[in-house]
Amino acid sequence: MESTLTPQQIFRKRAAGEPLNEGETPQIRRHIINVTLDNSIGALNRVANLFCQRGFNLESVAVGKTDDTSLSRMTLVTAGTTRKVEQVLLQLENLVDTVEVDDVTDLEFVERELCLLKVRYTSKNRSEVMDILDIFKGRVVDITPETMTIEVTGPTKKINAFVGMMEPFGIDELHRSGRVAMRRALVHGS
Amino acid sequence: MSEYSLENLDTPSGDGLPASASSSIVSQETVSQETMTGAEIFVRALDAQGVKYVFGHPGGAVIKIYDEIARIQPRFKHILVRHEQGGTHMAEGYAKATGRVGTVLVTSGPGATNTVTGIADAYMDSVPIVVFTGQVPTHLIGNDAFQETDIIGVTRSITKHSFQVKRVQDLTRTIKEAYHIAKTGRPGPVVVDLPKDILFAEDTFRYPEGVALRGYSTQVNIVETQIALAARMISESKKPLLYVGGGTLNSDAAEELTAFARKTKIPVTTTLHGLSSFPENDPLSLGMLGMHGTWYANQAVQNCDLIIAVGARFDDRVTGKLDAWAPHARVVHIDIDPSCISKNIPVECPILGNVKDVLDMLGPLVEEKDTAEWLGQIDVWREECPLAYEKDDRLRAQGVIEKLREKTDGNAVVVSDVGQHQMWTAQYFKYVHPRSHITSGGLGTMGFCLPAAIGAAFGLRLEGRDDVPVISISGDGGFVMNAQEMSVAAAHRLPIKIIVINNRFLGMVRQWQELFHENRYSHTDLTDTNPDFVKLAEANHVVGLRASTPKELDEAIEKAWSINDGPVLIECQVEKEEMVFPMVPAGAATGDMITERFSHDHDV
């Protein structure tokens, strides 16, 4: 098929990150975007609405206060082709409430996610659960004779691994906060 | 307060110009130490903002504002509309004809939801309007109170921005910001929701001079290297084409564009909203491109080696099948909205900026080009397949448009509705003056035309251009959707020429049914259900005329143009089964145009 494309069509497809040949799938990447927005009524709504309105994918959102009381900060995780994600960023910037939009995916950043997990245990496997918990530096925050509720924080991959380790015991309830991310402040060798 | 006394306030006096300063007791002050109600602050703020017309409809939640309008008689004129949707389209027509911001004032609940279509229309077509909606008192919000609607929620995805005023102290600042956001950058609709208690609360008056919106900047630094790149791409091209959209008119750059095209000898094709930004009697003009564009414009697109997109957004009605569009063209894209650039087609040279500013910078850098060969090729296409329709003694819609063009010599503001007549109005009128063509493009809102024409007529009256006729051209289907606004045109003696192209069909849907759905004319035949348009006009205090032959049309036009103190409606009974050609079927490649009727087994 490639031979039938004009040089301009090839240029456009390359720029859009689309495959040149039929049958190939476009490259989808996950992006982590920090959005600083005015703490005004409806600002959060407008951001969330944008994803629905434009058909963008939204994997997780975490939002909260910042050091400046007039601002909130939000970490969004979205996935898409380069072109789609560019649209996400531009449309976010177009919102009147957004003060800053920062795609940190390709930068040095730290990320954390909080996970609360209620797992079933018995007297036989309790120490096994506790050993795993120790490896993941988790804490028990609530306990009954049948279940314990565990708090674990860390990068998303760590949480995924922890949840995977808990599955065989029987997970009663799982609640994840979504990622929050922050650029690293590089001081040495940057 | 009865509707009647409000109407009296609106009755035009003499030239109908907005109430002069002497008849107003509101001073131009932007600061006042006396306390007043939120409603009075609102009315004074609109005056301080320089608003000239408010298209509105009263109701419970905004009754205090209407009370203040009657009491203090502001400088702006309130126009009582008959349906809130009509009000939003009037604001749009006013904005499009003048470049000013249109203002709408409605009550809560149904008053607010009736504006939704107009807001969506303004959003799609980048029209600056501010819609003030009443709201139930703040303590009742969320209680399902009488006439309560979460209009901010309802309109969230169709507004550029929206506000709900929670404290009377925020009222003037919010109004200032609303107008600023609506007008600047890529224009668009802004909704301001006004809870009733805010309008009764008291405060002093202070209208801010500027706005402080840290998340919204109108500062655009045009990148000089991009301008240089564009100039180089233009000089390297042999077959360049200017593809011009509504952004050119929004930035008042028609003059710059025309000078640029004439200097470089680059042919110009425009989108539906780009019409009137370049004189169509110029040999460089190719008319409109896209689904119902001219065959030669689309041929030029498919064969050119450079497209300079000016304030256009590569809409699907322009491009058809994206992958096959303009396959040989490098692309320069000038636009004010960064999210528009490379949205549909990745471009080699994006230039972010106001069209006018960019053309001012780019103009001096480009040389006069020798495009004679390319223009010669285009002329061959022009002769191969010109815009054409059957010319005989029967009345056809295309003929009506050509007749209106002949009568006015292009010196008119033409407003069209949505459907077949809209495409013929785009194809056959041959626009020469900027902002002389107004229509609903992106949303395709039937019922847009008449109220928009009314808004445009108010705009011309404000600018002292009453001598320029406003021609409202609707189909029989769309006209009835907002026909009630005829009484507004009559009440204000607006000399609008209302043309109803009556083919007794929802013609564009009928056309698609004939072409793509094997002639099953499902619910598109209006023969037995259309109103008597002449009687409908007369019932609304509008002179009604009817024409069913070219000769009758001539007479009707003569008569209509002799009436200058009020609206006239001409019902044109035209051929029933006319089709708009040429046509790129939806989703097809631009090169694959249908230029005439074909049989059903034709491979589409």
Q: What would the 3-class secondary structure string for B389-458 be?
A: CCCCCCCCHHHHHHHHHHHHCCCCEEEECCCHHHHHHHHHCCCCCCCCEECCCCCCCCCCHHHHHHHHHH
* Residue B303 contacts residue B314 (beta carbons within 8 Å): no
Residue A21: its pLDDT value, please? 83
**What is the topology classification, in CATH, of domain A2-103?**
Alpha-Beta Plaits (3.30.70)
Which residues of chain B neighbour A41 with C-beta distances below 8 Å? 164, 166
Paired tokens of B24: 């107003």
Prior bond of B582 cis (ω within 30°): yes
Contact B203, B41 (CB under 8 A): yes
C-alpha B152/C-alpha B145 separation (Å) is: 16
The parts of chain A modelled with pLDDT lower than 70 are 1-3, 187, 189-190
B23 — pLDDT class (breaks 50, 70, 90): very low
- Asked if the domains at A2-103 and A109-183 fall in one CATH topology, the answer is yes
Dist CA B457 CA B97 (whole Å): 8
Task: Report the pLDDT value the prediction gives residue A17, as an integer from 0 to 100.
Answer: 82
The dihedral sign for the CA sequence B13, B16, B19, B21: negative
Predicted local confidence at residue B1, as pLDDT: 33
Where does the pLDDT of residue B100 fall: very low under 50, low under 70, confident under 90, or very high at 90 and above? very high
Of A12, A41, A45, the CB nearest to B346: A12
Instruction: Tell how far CA B582 is from the center of its chain.
Output: 24
Catalytic residue among B96, B160, B176, B196: B196
How large is the average pLDDT for residues B503-519? 95
Contact criterion met (CB < 8 Å) for B339 and A94: yes
Answer whether residue B529 shows pLDDT above 90.
yes
State the residue for tokens 């990622």: A179
User: Dihedral angle at the C-alpha atoms of B348, B354, B358, B359, nearest 10 degrees?
Assistant: 110
For residue B234, the model assigns a pLDDT of 97
What sign does the CA torsion over B434, B436, B438, B442 have?
negative
A45–B215 C-beta distance less than 8 A: no
Q: Give B214 or B599, the one with higher predicted confidence.
A: B214
Task: Evaluate whether B374 touches B301 at the Cβ level (below 8 Å).
Answer: no
Is B304's pLDDT higher than 60? yes
Q: Which residues pair with A64 in a beta bridge?
A: A73
Architecture of domain B3-206: 3-Layer(aba) Sandwich (3.40)
Question: Which of residues 24 through 83 in chain A touch B, CB cutoff 8 A?
Answer: 37-38, 41-42, 45-46, 49-50, 52-53, 83
The alpha carbon of residue A140 is apart from the nearest alpha carbon of chain B, in Å, by: 40
* Catalytic status, residue B508: yes
- Distance between CA atoms of residues B309 and B331, nearest Å: 7
Cα separation, B21 vs B305, in Å, equals 57
Convert the pLDDT of each residue in B33-51 to its tens digit: 899 999 999 999 999 999 9
Q: Average pLDDT of B498-523?
A: 96
Spatial distance between the Cα atoms of B559 and B395, rounded to a whole number of angstroms:
18
Report d(CA A153, CA B358) in Å as an integer.
51
| Cα–Cα dist B541/B565, whole Å | 12
Q: In 3D, which of B359, B175, B385, B155 has the Cα closest to residue B268? A: B359
Q: What pLDDT is attached to residue B591?
A: 87
Give alpha helix (H) positions in B116-170: 116-124, 151-154
Mean pLDDT of B210-233: 93
CB pairs under 8 A between A and B: 60
Residues of chain B in contact with residue A87, where contact means CB-CB under 8 angstroms, are: 339, 343
Q: Delimit the domains of chain B by residue range.
A: 3-206, 224-384, 397-573
pLDDT digits (tens, 9 = 90+) for A122-172: 999 999 999 999 999 999 999 999 999 999 999 999 999 999 999 999 999
Pairing type for strands A109-120 and A180-183 reads antiparallel
| Token digits of residue B149 | 């609607």
Of A9, A38, A83, the CB nearest to B215: A38
Question: Per DSSP, what are the bridge partners of residue A98?
Answer: A37
Rounded Cα–Cα distance for residues B18 and B54 (Å) = 11
Q: Is the dihedral of CA B216, B217, B222, B226 positive or negative?
A: negative
Interatomic CA distance for residues B253 and B300, integer angstroms: 23
Going by pLDDT thresholds of 50, 70 and 90, the confidence category of residue B133 is very high
B135 vs B218, residue with greater confidence: B135
Of B66-70, B487-491, B598-602, give the lowest mean pLDDT range.
B598-602
pLDDT grade for B408, boundaries at 50, 70 and 90? very high
Q: Is the complex ipTM higher than 0.85?
A: yes
Query: CB-based burial of residue B30 (10 Å sphere; 0-12 exposed, 13-18 middle, 19+ buried)?
Result: middle
Counts of helices then strands in chain A (DSSP H, E): 5, 9
Read off the pLDDT band of B386 (50, 70, 90): very high
The pLDDT of residue B598 is: 59
- Kindly state which CATH superfamily the domain B224-384 is placed in: TPP-binding domain (3.40.50.1220)
The tokens for B583 are: 């046509």
CA distances from B129 to A95, B98, B251, B252, B470 (A): 17, 12, 16, 17, 21
Question: Would you say residue B590 has pLDDT above 70?
Answer: yes
Task: Tell me whether residues B342 and A93 touch, CB distance under 8 A.
Answer: no
* CATH code at B397-573: 3.40.50.970
Contacts of B348 in chain A (CB under 8 A): 11
Question: What pLDDT sits at residue B20?
Answer: 39
**Catalytic member of B36, B124, B423, B508:** B508
Query: Which residue out of B7, B73, B147, B407 is catalytically annotated?
Result: B147
Nearest CA in chain A to B328: A8
Decide the pairing of beta strands A71-80 and B543-547: unpaired
pLDDT of B11 reads: 34
pLDDT band at B219 (very low <50, low <70, confident <90, very high): confident
CB B243 within 8 A of CB B310: yes
B147 is catalytic: yes
Instruction: Give me the pLDDT at residue B599, please.
Output: 47
**Least confident segment among A54-68, B160-174, B179-193, B285-299:** A54-68
Contacts A91 to B, Cβ<8 Å = 339
B351-366 pLDDT, tens digit per residue, is 999 999 999 999 999 9
User: What are the pLDDT digits (tens) for B449-504?
Assistant: 999 999 999 999 999 998 999 999 999 999 999 999 999 999 999 999 999 999 99
Pick the CATH number of A109-183 from 3.30.70.20, 3.90.1150.10, 3.30.70.1150, 3.20.20.140: 3.30.70.1150
Contact A96/B164, CB-based, under 8 Å?
no
pLDDT tens readout for residues B548-579: 999 999 999 999 999 999 999 999 999 999 99
**Who among B157, B215, B338 is closest to A98 (CB)?**
B215
For residue A9, give the nearest of B181, B323, B348 by CB distance.
Answer: B323
Break chain A into its structural domains and give their ranges: 2-103, 109-183
Instruction: Among B160, B215, B330, select the one facing A8 at the smallest CB separation.
Output: B330
Q: Is B146 among the catalytic positions?
A: yes
Query: Which chain B residues have a beta carbon less than 8 Å from that of A15?
Result: 342, 346
